[in-house]
A and B are shown apart, each in its own frame.
Chain A
């Protein structure tokens, strides 16, 4: 079945450093790759997404890259700030006329001031 693996499970960085989270998906038909940030006790919120026809997308300090051949996609956060501390989930969406979104297990990011 469909699967999304996410690494690392925990990531600790110093404020101002970069953070990288990597994901691998199994279903080659996946065509949509969102990233969500979930703070403690709150709902997941979309921070950036990328479609399968694009290799890279950037939004201020956040960027996502996609390698369809290797079925890898990554989240890059530059100039990290303490408020970036949260759990980040990658996901892969697949389907037409109805979509199934498979989430990774999450990465807990700690940004130390």
Chain B
């Protein structure tokens, strides 16, 4: 059973550019959440997707947007990159339900903005 997979593993972009990160959830999971983890910090919640809709959003600007596909995979898009966007971007999948359930994390995408 494949866990949560993210691509690419590493990425270097120039300030002002746009980037797309991808996530495939664990088999059987239908909900995907994205997090930004700066060095030495805890993951910061960006947003959560379920049934192809954004269901919850953290305190991130509109430059951060996402998408979920019918097969539950998801993309995170960041426009007009800033140096401060350099971080590890983590995707986590879970199974929707009345209660919040265990989330499984991917290995992350290390984004460096130069």
- Alpha-carbon separation in the docked complex, A34 to B33 (Å): 15
**Across the interface, which residues of A come within 8 angstroms of B43, CB to CB?**
44, 89, 103
**Which residues of the partner chain B approach A101 to less than 8 Å between Cβ atoms?**
33, 45, 100, 103
Nearest A residue to B104, CB-CB: A46
B100 near A95 (CB under 8 angstroms)?
yes
Which of A4, A98, A105, A106 has the largest number of chain B CB atoms within 10 A? A98
Chain A-chain B contacts (Cβ-Cβ < 8 Å), number: 64
Taking a contact as CB atoms closer than 8 A, the residue among B59, B100, B105 that contacts A45 in the complex is B105
A106 CA to B55 CA, complexed, in Å: 26
CA distance A102 to B40 in the complex (A): 16
A residues near B59, Cβ cutoff 8 Å: 1
Chain A contact residue count (CB 8 A cutoff): 29
B contact residues around A44 at 8 Å (CB): 43, 90, 105
Which residues of chain B are within 8 angstroms of A99 by Cβ–Cβ distance? 33, 48, 55-56, 100
Chain A 73-113 near chain B by CB (<8 Å), digits 1 or 0: 00000000000000001010101111111111110000000
Q: Check if B45 sits within 8 Å of A31, measured CB to CB.
A: no
Q: Does B72 contact A (CB under 8 A)?
A: no
Whether a CB of chain A sits under 8 angstroms from the CB of B44 is yes
B99 touches A32 (CB 8 A): yes
Q: Who on chain B is nearest to A108 by CB? A: B40
Contacts of B102 in A (CB 8 A): 34, 46, 49
A42 at the B interface (CB under 8 A)? yes
With an 8 A cutoff between CB atoms, is A61 at the interface? no
Contact with A along B42-66 (1 / 0, CB 8 A): 1111001010000111110000000
Please name 17 further chain A to chain B contacts, defined as beta carbons within 8 Å, in addition to the given A32-B99, A46-B104, A95-B55, sorted by A numbering. A1-B59, A34-B102, A42-B107, A44-B43, A44-B90, A46-B102, A89-B42, A98-B56, A99-B33, A99-B55, A99-B100, A100-B45, A101-B100, A103-B35, A103-B44, A104-B42, A105-B41
Can you identify 20 A-B contacts, CB atoms within 8 angstroms?
A4-B42, A6-B42, A34-B102, A36-B105, A43-B105, A43-B108, A44-B105, A89-B42, A89-B43, A95-B55, A99-B33, A99-B100, A100-B48, A102-B45, A103-B35, A103-B44, A103-B45, A105-B42, A106-B40, A106-B41
